Amino acid sequence: MIGDEPRVSIDYLADHPRFVLTVAKWVFDHWGKMYRMQSVEEQIGRLSERLNKDAFPIAFVALVDGKPVGTASLKLREMTTYPHLEHWLGTVYVDEKFRGHGIGTALVVWATREAKRLGVETLYLHTPDKASFYRRLGWEPIERPVYFGMPVVVMRKVLRVVEEK
């Protein structure tokens, strides 16, 4: 980042467990109603399962001056309606005050690179309203189902082309 842009670093949430509560609150406040989440505590439990570095599921946190400003996760079988699709990117969130500085992009690029490092061939995500944000990052829409009563777009990014024998 240059000029007055915030200096952002991205780390494993596993290395910053004290930020689990902040991230859980973001998730619950933003998606709680939409996905019928029960409580912040439930999200703390889910994020605690993602405190990994070398295997899915993994949560990441974006930091500015050591403070959490955003998050993203690599998850397993996120959509119950697509149990055959294994690897998903989700929970991409940037604190409102920090949006528009490239932090969301950095989180998506970072998490995608991590999935590639772990040997994932194709990564999936679903979004009700941010398809254009992901499209510009090279994600391709593949289906438009209804999920939790909302029309969503399922998108994919091929990370490794597997040659047929």
Ligand X SMILES: CC(C)(COP(=O)(O)OP(=O)(O)OC[C@H]1O[C@@H](n2cnc3c(N)ncnc32)[C@H](O)[C@@H]1OP(=O)(O)O)[C@@H](O)C(=O)NCCC(=O)NCCS
Note the residues at the interface with ligand X (CB under 6 A). 30, 92-94, 99-105, 127, 130, 132-133
Q: Give the residue with the Cβ less far from ligand X, 7 or 165.
A: 7
Q: Give the residue with the Cβ less far from ligand X, 29 or 54.
A: 29
Q: How far is the CB of 84 from ligand X (least distance, A)?
A: 21
Q: How far is the CB of 96 from ligand X (least distance, A)?
A: 8
Q: Give the residue with the Cβ less far from ligand X, 2 or 162.
A: 2
Among residues 90, 161, 77, 162, which one has the least CA distance to residue 125?
90
Q: How far is the CB of 57 from ligand X (least distance, A)?
A: 16
Q: How far is the CB of 14 from ligand X (least distance, A)?
A: 21
Cα R_g (the chain), whole angstroms = 16
Q: Give the residue with the Cβ less far from ligand X, 54 or 129.
A: 129
User: Cα(89)–Cα(69) distance, rounded to whole angstroms?
Assistant: 18
Residue closest to ligand X (Cβ): 104
Q: How far is the CB of 127 from ligand X (least distance, A)?
A: 4
Integer CA distances (angstroms), 29 to 24, 25, 117, 125, in order: 8, 6, 31, 20
Among residues 11, 111, 115, 122, which one has the least CA distance to residue 55?
115
Q: Could you tell me how many residues make up the chain?
A: 165
Question: Cβ distance 131 to 106 under 8 Å?
Answer: no
Q: Give the residue with the Cβ less far from ligand X, 80 or 132.
A: 132
Among residues 130, 132, 117, 129, which one has the least CA distance to residue 87?
117
